[in-house]
Amino acid sequence: MFDRSHVLAGSPEDALAVLLAGSLVFSLLQVRRHHDEPGTAAVWWRAGAYYSGCLLVGWATGVLSRLVRTHVVADGQLGDRSWWLATAAVFAIVAFGYAGIWRAGTQHHGRVRHVPSVLAFGIAWGVSEGVLMLAFFSLGELFGFAKLGASVTAVLAASVWLGGWHATYWDKYVAPEHNIASWNLPKVLLAHTPNLIVSTWYFATNGNTVIFISAQVLALTISTWFMRFPPYTTSATEQLVVA
């Protein structure tokens, strides 16, 4: 499903990769610059470095090429009732998992919801990790697997990577405190895992790259909304908290 012939071929995607590499380096330099400041600037730059890295992996595995070179909806899908039902099922499962289960297991600790920051962070997070998840699918294809094998590869690799990444880095150095410990397992079983399995199945069956990524944008924007991800600031006094 992924065409990697445009990688290192003088394509527009290669030009974008150069910009992403520059963004990665710049973000890391900004992390170092703001590391000792009391605000959240370093947090945002750490996320920016991660997002740039995810998109670079997407470039190398052909995901960005598919994203920019294929239609949002394939010929015949709009007239296919089963496609509409499958698409609705994906978004319904994501909405239930994150607006229901994930929300129930999340605390915002009195942080004020800064809507522009929440939306910007959630959209960037969803696009980046959506691209990364598809990169795992592409790697499954590189191993010679057909759609089912590539799907299993993607789900397993994403589960291992995202679980380990969040436990060892993201939830310590990027995301503000938000987890209710007793809800961690229900979140995994009833939100994250269904999202991974159903969204990957949907992509393998229908091939809608933009819609797959949109589902991840929905999931992670809901997450940032309910954890109330803080705005970019270099001052501790600007971090908004209510009594």
pLDDT number for residue 38? 85
The pTM for the full model equals 0.94
Q: Give the pLDDT band (50/70/90) at residue 113.
A: very high
In tens, the pLDDT along 179-229 reads 999 999 999 999 999 999 999 999 999 999 999 999 999 999 999 999 999
pLDDT number for residue 242? 39
Q: Which of 143, 157, 144, 142 is nearest to 200 (CA)?
A: 157
Q: Give the pLDDT band (50/70/90) at residue 236.
A: low
Q: Residues near 88 by Cβ (< 8 Å), separated by ≥ 6?
A: none
Q: Distance between CA 16 and CA 168 in Å, rounded?
A: 30
In tens, the pLDDT along 2-38 reads 999 999 999 999 999 999 999 999 999 999 999 988 8
Mean of the per-residue pLDDT values of the chain: 95
